[in-house]
């Protein structure tokens, strides 16, 4: 075990020397867990609603059970991730819009192209995706519970819950497809989610307003969050967008 720990430590040091730490292990674990649970939800939903897939897979009762439990477990990684200070700090960054974020959105709406110069640690598109994901998980969990326990609510509630659940599931599938498509086009971003580290070149080109903090002292970043700055960004950029 000692040799294994030493090997892991050397690998961590080599990654740190080669790039900038973007995510901690807790954050990569949360993202990986959400990815697997959401993937299971989408796959089982497809098997339930697409007749051709339903015929191939069969065992509908088992598919329903897996779909229900994977959906119920979706909020668990996020709740567990709140134990991590780094995760809480990034959640705060994702939940707040600054002048440069609104300019990023206006640029995309006008030119249909992203403007990396207006991105902090997370650009406005990533913030919108995170907000949509959190809201969608909450709505899908609530409507799913109403469908799972039909005797706990009147018929009109169950009918509405089924309608919202089905159509929101379709929208989620479309949004996830777009998310995966963008991720495929950006191998450095995928590397950041896989290893926690990204190249310094990528930071300069894609997120120039981000000022990475040292690995451990996180309190100054938290204080800057409370003052209203995009964490890891200088006040000059925050005021000017």
| Strand ranges, E, within 152-198 | 197-198
Q: DSSP string covering 35-93, please?
A: HHHHHHHHHHHHHHH-HHHHHHH--HHHHHHHHHHHHHTTHHHHHHHTTSHHHHHHHHH
Residue range 235-240: mean pLDDT, rounded: 41
Determine the pLDDT at residue 3.
Answer: 59
Do 191 and 31 form a contact (C-beta atoms < 8 A)?
no
Determine the pLDDT at residue 111.
Answer: 84
Cα separation, 91 vs 81, in Å, equals: 10
* pLDDT at residue 218 is higher than 70: no
Which pLDDT band holds residue 211 (cuts at 50, 70, 90)? confident
Determine the pLDDT at residue 50.
Answer: 85
Determine the pLDDT at residue 48.
Answer: 87
Which residues are paired to 20 by β-bridges?
198
* pLDDT at residue 82 is higher than 90: yes
Cα separation, 35 vs 29, in Å, equals: 10
Using one digit for the tens of pLDDT, what is the confidence trace for 138-192?
A: 999 999 988 888 888 888 888 999 999 999 999 999 999 999 998 898 899 889 9
Do 218 and 86 form a contact (C-beta atoms < 8 A)?
yes
- Cα distances (Å, whole numbers) of residue 61 to 44, 65, 67, 78, 138: 11, 6, 10, 28, 24
* pLDDT at residue 201 is higher than 80: yes
User: Lowest-pLDDT range, 194-198, 206-210, 211-215, 223-227?
Assistant: 223-227
Cα separation, 224 vs 238, in Å, equals: 11
Q: Which residue has the tokens 């899908």?
A: 140
Using one digit for the tens of pLDDT, what is the confidence trace for 24-69?
A: 999 999 999 999 999 999 999 998 888 888 888 888 899 999 999 9
Residue range 217-230: mean pLDDT, rounded: 43
SS3 at position 122: coil
Using one digit for the tens of pLDDT, what is the confidence trace for 112-148?
A: 887 878 888 999 999 999 999 999 999 999 999 888 8
Determine the pLDDT at residue 215.
Answer: 54
Cα separation, 184 vs 236, in Å, equals: 33
Phi-psi region of 198 (alpha: psi -120 to 50; beta: other; left: phi over 0): beta
- Cα distances (Å, whole numbers) of residue 192 to 38, 98, 122, 146, 203: 20, 24, 13, 38, 11
Smallest Cα–Cα separation from 94: which of 70, 55, 65, 130? Answer: 130
Residue range 221-239: mean pLDDT, rounded: 43
Determine the pLDDT at residue 239.
Answer: 38
């Amino acid at each position: 075990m000692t040799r294994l720990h030493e090997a892991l430590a050397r690998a961590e040091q080599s990654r740190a020397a080669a790039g900038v730490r973007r995510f901690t292990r807790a954050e990569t674990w949360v993202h990986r867990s959400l990815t697997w649970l959401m993937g299971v939800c989408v796959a089982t939903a497809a098997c339930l609603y697409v007749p051709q897939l339903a015929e191939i897979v069969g065992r509908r009762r088992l598919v329903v059970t897996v779909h229900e439990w994977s959906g119920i477990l979706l909020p668990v990684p996020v709740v567990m991730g709140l134990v991590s200070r780094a995760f809480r700090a990034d959640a705060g960054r994702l939940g707040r819009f600054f002048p440069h974020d609104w300019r990023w959105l206006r640029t995309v709406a006008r030119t249909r192209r992203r403007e990396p110069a207006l991105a902090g640690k997370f650009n406005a598109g990533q913030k919108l995706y995170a907000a949509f994901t959190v809201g969608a998980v909450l709505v899908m969990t609530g409507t799913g519970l109403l469908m799972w326990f039909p005797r706990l609510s009147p018929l009109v509630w169950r009918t509405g819950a089924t309608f919202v659940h089905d159509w929101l599931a379709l929208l989620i599938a479309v949004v996830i497809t777009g998310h995966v498509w963008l991720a495929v086009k950006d191998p450095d971003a995928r590397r950041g989610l896989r290893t926690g580290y990204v190249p310094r070149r990528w930071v300069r080109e894609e997120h120039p307003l981000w000022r990475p903090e040292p690995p451990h002292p996180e309190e100054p970043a938290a204080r800057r969050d409370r003052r209203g700055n995009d964490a890891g960004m200088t006040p000059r950029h925050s005021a000017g967008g």
